[in-house]
Amino acid sequence: MKKFLVYTALILLLVPVQTTLLPHVAIWDIKPDLGLVFAALIGVLAGELEGLMVGLAIGWILNLYSAGDLWLNLVTTGGAGLFAGLLARQVAEITPTMVAVGLLLLSLLGGLVAVANMNHASMADAWWMIEFVVVPQACFDAAVGAGLLWVLEQRFPVPRFGILDRYS
């Protein structure tokens, strides 16, 4: 029950934080996608099912308050939580560097899906978006995710998937 309340509070507070706080920490008007970062971290730390469910909820809430295409955030954020959880099961120890690489790839894929979903954009516009929005945002997401995992590791005993749990 406690975990459910924490996830609900996270989901409900994500939109105000994303809209009020992140414009102040933007670098060259690039803001991290906190929904993707939190869904991936929950997938890594709690498992693929929780990552998928929380990612779907975060994507749904972000779709309600964004002017983007319907279902795009839902699918990419939920998929990120699922994929991060599946990857975490295959690794003996999760480090901030591994989370950064995983988030970089997940954010790049999500950004490429968004660029491919643009209906009336020319090829020059698509390349501009990839070069000046998708790649910097993916790097920012990776840095934020690795930093959050590092802070969590320093402050709390972070449960992870480990070799002993799987093979004993």
pLDDT, residue 47, reads 86
Average pLDDT over residues 14-24: 83
Question: How many other C-beta atoms can be found within 10 angstroms of the C-beta atom of residue 147?
Answer: 14
Segment 135-159, tens digit of pLDDT:
999 999 999 999 998 898 888 876 6
* DSSP per-residue codes, 121-165: --HHHHHHHIIIIIHHHHHHHHHHHHHHHHHHHHHS------HHH
In this prediction, residue 160 has a pLDDT band, given cuts at 50, 70 and 90, of low
Q: Residue 78: pLDDT above 80?
A: yes
Q: Residue 45: pLDDT above 80?
A: yes
Q: Which CATH architecture has domain 2-12+33-158?
A: Orthogonal Bundle (1.10)
Q: What's the predicted TM-score (pTM) here? A: 0.84
Tokens of 144: 């934020």
In this prediction, residue 164 has a pLDDT band, given cuts at 50, 70 and 90, of very low
Select the more confidently predicted residue: 161 or 116: 116
pLDDT, residue 167, reads 47
